[in-house]
């Protein structure tokens, strides 16, 4: 198989896929955008991001008809895939009374978010 600019097609495939991953995962995925309440309290969500990546490819022989229309010695077939998991782990809360980290433990994320909203509302009322 002929190579593109001295690179193996699998390298090209992986480089392209990884460049797309960079656009999906950025710092705002792990440390979320700050939310400011009316009293000046700032809440910053913190998450854990896990990603799995796989890529592969191979060459296969071609028929005589394909050789006439193709500039490669052997055609290349390849693919890649990625899986993500984003899990909330806590909230960083900055208020007049200081900075506090609220961890999300073994409860479901939904239960923890409701509890955090309740705690923040109680603090805002005081």
| 50 or 113, greater pLDDT | 50
CA-nearest of 80, 87, 83 to 103 is: 87
Domain extent listing, the chain = 9-125
Cβ pair 94, 41 in contact under 8 A = yes
What pTM did the predictor assign?
Answer: 0.52
47-99 per-position pLDDT tens digit: 888 878 777 777 777 666 555 655 555 677 777 777 878 888 889 999 888 99
């Amino acid at each position: 198989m002929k190579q593109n600019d001295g690179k193996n097609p699998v390298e090209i495939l992986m480089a392209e896929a990884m460049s797309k991953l960079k656009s999906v995962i950025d710092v705002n995925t792990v440390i979320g955008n700050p939310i400011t309440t009316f009293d000046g309290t700032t809440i910053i969500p913190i998450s854990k991001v896990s990603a799995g990546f796989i890529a592969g490819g191979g060459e296969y022989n071609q028929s005589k008809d394909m050789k006439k229309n193709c500039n490669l010695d052997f055609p290349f077939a390849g693919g890649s895939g990625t899986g993500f998991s984003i899990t909330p782990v806590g909230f960083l809360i900055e208020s007049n009374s200081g900075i506090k980290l609220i961890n999300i433990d073994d409860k479901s994320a939904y239960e923890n978010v409701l509890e955090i909203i309740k705690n923040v509302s109680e603090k805002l009322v005081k």
